[in-house]
Amino acid sequence: MGMVTRKTIGMIKFGILSPEMIRKMSAVEVKVAETYDDDGFPIEGGLMDPHMGVADPGLRCKTCGQKMNRCPGHFGHIELVRPVIHSEYARYVEYFLNAFCPKCGKPLVSEQEFAEIIAENPPKSRLKALAKKGSSVKNCPHCGAERNAVRLDRPTNFFEGDKRVWPTEIRERLEKIHDTDLERLGFNPRDFRPEWLVVTVLPVPPVTVRPSIVLETGERAEDDLTHKLADIVRINQRLRENIDAGAPQLIVEDLWDLLQYHVTTYFNNETSGAPPARHRSGRILKTIIQRLKGKEGRFRYNLSGKRVNFAGRAVITPDPMLSIDEVGVPDRMANIITVPLHVTEWNLEEAKRYVASKEYPRALYVIRPDGTRLKVTDANREELLEELAPGYTVERQVVDGDIVLFNRQPSLHRMSMFALKVRVLPGKTLRIQPAICPPYNADFDGDEMNIHFLQTKEAQAEARELMVPTKHIISPRYGGPIIALTKDYITALFILTLPWTKFTKEEAMDLLYAAGITELPEPEEDGTISGRAIFSMLLPPDMNLKFPSTLGKHLVSVGLADKKGNGPISPITVIKDGKLVEGVIDKAAVGTGKGKLIDYMVRRYGEGVAKDFMNRVSRLANRLLYMFGFTISYHSLKIPEELDRKIDEIIEKALEKVYEYIKQYEEGRLEPIPGRGVEESLETYIMVTLGQAEKEIQSLLQKYLLETKLDPVHILDNFAQIFSGARGSFANIKNLMGVQGQAAVREKRPHRGFYQRVTSHFKRGDIGPFARGFARSNLRDGLTVNELFFWGMGGRMGEVDKGVSTQITGYYYRRLSNAMMDLLAFPDGTVREVTRDTIVQFAFGDDNLNPQKLRHGEVPLDVLYDEIKAGEKR
């Protein structure tokens, strides 16, 4: 190697190859359909002729004399005995035939009309316009010759009336077209002549484009293109023999059509009208267009998307002991992947340590200043150690603190790829702190993620400055925290901050030490330490904040508390001088999206404070949940008989109302809703009536639970999750303990299935609630078979919709991002198209505001006010 030629591409031209050009660039004419002889050597004049380059190591190319990897490959050609139409251009051949006189080659319109067509049409549509005019012309306006419209019978056959026009005839006609007329139509006759659309010479791509594969058995398997080319050569040969032998016209024409078919499928094996060519095994061949087209084609698969080195992929699992800006890397991954260490006089000692080491953090390779790369082995270690000097590069194993990119597909926004710090850990999975799940939209049910180990200092610096999670706690999508506490953390903080939660001194020390705090808060009068006091230790000492909690909203909505703050637990959370004094910490404080506390912390005290807070909570919450049992049992779902009766009453009343509607409908008395039919109105009445009953039951249960379960014992029956907004909802509770309710398919009651009924368990024409998917049972007591079936219908629809809508949305997103990818926000506030340097927007978003710095689109003035009040300067 070493003989690298660098050239700049000045121009790329797309066009049609002329037969002369094809012959000129050909290194050899292919005449034999065979590839290799019995000894395994390529046959001269065959499809693997060494003039077209070599695919076997050791052999030399007969054109350029170079070996396998150095020879760029050379085209060959096949001389077709009879010409065929280029199937991909058949449409244009039809246009040309209908636009020009077969006799004199002049346009089939008067000079004046021709001039008009050219004046009225852009170059792109002139030919089509001319062909449209010309196809109805019977006599050439120039020479008077009679002609008929030429019709294309797809894919490649042409007819004049009932008479077949063969490619030879077509070619003759096209040859007559004048260069001057072509120019006026917008063609450059030096680059394009219409008769080139009729193929007389077929280029044969180099061997390197269609290498044969040697199987383990020693057999050779040829590429699909080679197979197709062999077909062409074979039929071409047979056609020649038949013509030479003076075979009847019919036989010759059959073979000619067969040749046309092979050439057509050689270009495009998905040509409509031509049956796809198959391999002997029955597999459909992948020919030229199939190689290039679509998601798995050359462009999207190999050119827009390339595989990279220094990357890994593994299943992800959670690790609450990690920081949110760390990723746990399996040791076996860290053993293989390296990071370059450029040796200078300042890090020479460090580099030597890596080279000298025989175990884990060791150097795998040493690169000399001249670029030679040496594997570090026990044999040469001492030598290399001696040799090592500034200017060398040491490729050492990945260690803690290295910066990597960590990504989960689909990468829908910039938070889908963070720069994280490595923590090398035992095990086989990649690990992340669960708080960074929301931006990735990751969970741990088998998700896999990709990791990229950054190699250059520039890349590392850029990633560290721009891509660390701490700079993306607030999402620019909606201006609220997207890296926030979820699930167990919310539950734990909720339990911790309930007014009755108290700990002994030892327990408090245990919890705080887990969070990395070595001081104790002031104990209560009875010597215990309250959960709120422990939580307050995590807050900045001067913090003041007031907001309604999720629990508060639940309480207020069933009238157990008012908005002023009165209730069993204050519905408003108050933090005063860094102490939690009222209310609880739940989803409204630390959850994704709205989390007021985290939002305020990031904006007022900075990302670092918010990050430390979340890391501390993570460890503390973990510890806390070990201390409290937290589970649910069947008995927790039981409700007093009285309540059960009440629920029954609500359902009974609703059903009565529904039957009344049906009765009215059947008697034709039903008052339709304006703008809707009677049937439709009935459906709406029924759905609304049942829906209201379900809601009523839900509120009833919500009130009951908040009254009876908001105490130190029952809260641990998993209700803390619902009360705090960590997981589950009161709608779920309604399904469990109240009534499962109406099943829905496409927002309607299920109605398809048997004739006039959904299943055979009902009478024909029954449109009552139970025949149309109303489930009176609940999940605690179990559904009936029919109820389960109806809900299964809705569930199935949901799954199908999910799949379909992600597909459709994905394609929308692809188009949108492709359209917007080179728009860039400039320092002067304008948005410009970089490639063309044109202005698209004069002020970014019309207001020049960064959505990440806003809170749900509004300027966070409270933070500014607090800062000014505290006398801080920005």
Partner 1 sequence: MAAKKSILDHVLVPKCRVLTEQEVEELLKKYGIPKDALPKILADDPVVKELGAKKGDVIEFIRNSPISGKAIYYRVVV
Give the binding site for partner 1 (CB under 8 A). 828, 830, 832, 836-840, 842-843, 845-847
* Interstrand relation of 326-330 and 417-425 (parallel, antiparallel or unpaired): parallel
Length of the chain, please? 874
C-beta of 701: minimal distance to partner 1 in Å?
41
CB closer to partner 1 out of 218 and 857: 857
Kindly tell me which of 122 and 674 has the beta carbon lying closer to partner 1.
Answer: 122
Q: Could you tell me the smallest distance in angstroms from the CB atom of residue 854 to partner 1?
A: 11
Least Å distance, CB 850 to partner 1, is 13
State the nearest-atom distance from the C-beta of 655 to partner 1, in Å: 46
Q: Which residues contact 216 (CB under 8 A, 6 or more apart)?
A: none
Query: Whole-number minimum distance, CB 476 to partner 1, in Å?
Result: 14
Q: What angle do CA 321, 325, 330 make, to 5 degrees?
A: 65
Q: Which is nearer to partner 1, 69 or 835 (CB)?
A: 835
Q: Which is nearer to partner 1, 252 or 849 (CB)?
A: 849
Spatial separation of the C-alpha atoms in residues 48 and 720, rounded to whole Å: 74
Q: How far is the CB of 845 from partner 1 (least distance, A)?
A: 6
Report the residue number, 380 or 830, with the smaller CB distance to partner 1. 830
What the block records as the tokens of 470 is 């701490």
**759 vs 646: CA distance, rounded Å:** 31
Instruction: Spell out the residues 6+ positions from residue 339 whose beta carbon is closer than 8 angstroms to its own.
Output: 395, 396, 397, 398, 402, 453, 454, 455
Beta carbon of residue 452, minimum distance to partner 1 (angstroms, whole number): 36
Nearer to partner 1 by Cβ, of 389 and 839: the residue is 839
DSSP H helical ranges for 759-784: none
Closer residue to partner 1, CB minimum distance, 635 or 836: 836
Q: Is the dihedral of CA 588, 589, 590, 596 positive or negative?
A: positive
Q: Is 132 helix (H, G, I), strand (E, B) or coil?
A: helix
494 neighbors 585 (Cβ within 8 angstroms): yes
CB of residue 829 vs partner 1: minimum separation in angstroms? 10
Tell me, what amino acid is at 587? K
Q: Give the nearer residue to partner 1 in terms of CB position, either 112 or 838.
A: 838
Cα–Cα dist 511/552, whole Å: 26
Closer to partner 1 at the Cβ: 808 or 839?
839
109 SS3 class = coil
Q: Which residues contact 202 (CB under 8 A, 6 or more apart)?
A: 22, 77, 78, 80, 232, 263, 266
Instruction: Output the smallest distance, CB 839 to partner 1, in A.
Output: 6
Q: Considering beta carbons, is residue 143 or 839 the nearer one to partner 1?
A: 839
State the minimum distance, in angstroms, from the CB of residue 837 to partner 1.
6
What span, in angstroms and rounded, lies between the C-alpha atoms of 504 and 502?
Answer: 7
Q: Is the dihedral of CA 288, 293, 295, 297 positive or negative?
A: positive
Residue 372's contacts (CB-CB under 8 Å, 6 or more residues apart) are: none
**Which two structure tokens, joined as six digits, stand for 148?**
């008929």
For the bound state, the minimum distance from the C-beta of residue 846 to partner 1, rounded and expressed in Å, comes to 4
> Which one, 843 or 868, has the nearer CB to partner 1?
843
Nearer to partner 1, 765 or 845 (CB): 845
Tell me how far, at minimum, the Cβ of 439 lies from partner 1, in Å: 24
Taking a C-beta distance cutoff of 8 angstroms, is the pair 107, 75 a contact?
no
396 burial type by CB count under 10 A (0-12 exposed, 13-18 middle, 19+ buried): buried
- Cis before 155? omega within 30: yes
Helix/strand/coil percent split, the chain, to 5: 40, 15, 40
